[in-house]
Structure 1
């Protein structure tokens, strides 16, 4: 099968629709202002690639790999992104906000361990068993998400908006939560780790 992309090429303002490319490996490709719709990219390896201001809609990127790839201004909508180790991508220290946005995505079993991703947007996402330990997510929006069994430890969550999010287990003494917003009822879970008994 002929590959839609050639290694070492640049693609500007291209639209890619309904591609079936699971388990392929692509190297040294730069995508800028590209739209990916209804594509199966599960298990794909993007090695030393650049994804700049790209948009993924209804794509399957589960267990995709981004070794030494650079992402900036990328948005994912209604997509499946299970089992991705985001720490393998390149996150230059001179940036703190990479303008990443995830809306209505399934992101279970993924890792953001130790990353600095300020102003990250997670909107209506399913985030079971996701590792946020040691990361800096200052000023992020994490609205209406399900954080069942996700890990937060030594995580900077200052000014993060957790409105309408559920099932998070955040120890308020082990994480920085100053200025964070929590829905009133769900915020009661934060007190459990302090050994406080709540009475009606």
Structure 2
């Protein structure tokens, strides 16, 4: 399902109430609207977010470890140095958001969409991603090491220096990616779907990984 472009189009838009004050450890946020707020050095580990909206917010060095995030809609927000380790995401979307230095290792993402987002040095090591879409995104130095990518797609996205070492791919569709540049883990592309032109671009690195010497002399 394509996430809505406008806040007013959310099925729970009329139920949203504005958030005030800091975040809380094991907080319970149900139909809450976080709008143009700045959170820095705050802790909300183990919190629950259900049918919430985040618009034009900044989160800096904030910890949301082991949080449960269901039906979250976020747009125009910046996440810097945030810990989302071992968090659990379901039916959520982030649009035009920036994620830099975010730790999300060990997280589980189900039916999550990233649209026009920039992910820079995001740690997704040992995450499980099911039916996750990266649409028109830039993924730079993203670590997918030991992750499980099942039904993940990258339409219109640029993948730069991504790490795939010991990752497991199943029905991961890379055909829509604009560029595919891996820092390691070419052997983990088993289980991915790529186009013939992408295969030609990847051929030298794949040959090197497999120990194949290509020479015409």
What TM-score do you get using the length of structure 1 for normalisation? Answer: 0.81
Q: Output the CA distance in 1 between the equivalents of 2:201 and 2:100.
A: 26
Question: CA deviation digits over 1:104-136, x for unaligned, max 9?
Answer: 111111122222212221111111111112222
| Gap runs ≥5 in structure 1 | 92-96
Q: Greater helix share, 1 or 2?
A: 2
Closer, same or farther: CA 139–27 of 1 in aligned 2, 3 Å: closer
Closer, same or farther: CA 48–155 of 1 in aligned 2, 3 Å: closer
User: 121, 127, 131: which is aligned to 1:115?
Assistant: 127
Q: Output the CA distance in 2 between the equivalents of 1:198 and 1:186.
A: 21
Divergent runs of 4+, >6 A: 170-173
Q: Output the CA distance in 2 between the equivalents of 1:172 and 1:67.
A: 22
Are the counterparts in 2 of residues 144 and 164 from structure 1 also a CA contact under 8 Å?
A: yes
Higher mean C-alpha deviation, range 32-41 or range 99-108 = 99-108
| Gap runs ≥5 in structure 2 | 1-19
1:58 CA displacement: 0.6
User: 169, 184, 192: which is aligned to 2:204?
Assistant: 192
Q: Greater strand share, 1 or 2?
A: 2
Q: Output the CA distance in 2 between the equivalents of 1:81 and 1:114.
A: 18
In the alignment of these two chains, the number of paired residues is 191
Q: Output the CA distance in 1 between the equivalents of 2:145 and 2:171.
A: 17
What TM-score do you get using the length of structure 2 for normalisation? Answer: 0.76
Partner of 2:165: 153
Partner of 1:32: 50
User: 99, 102, 116: which is aligned to 1:104?
Assistant: 116
Give the match's secondary structure for 2:83: coil
Are the counterparts in 1 of residues 106 and 124 from structure 2 also a CA contact under 8 Å?
A: no
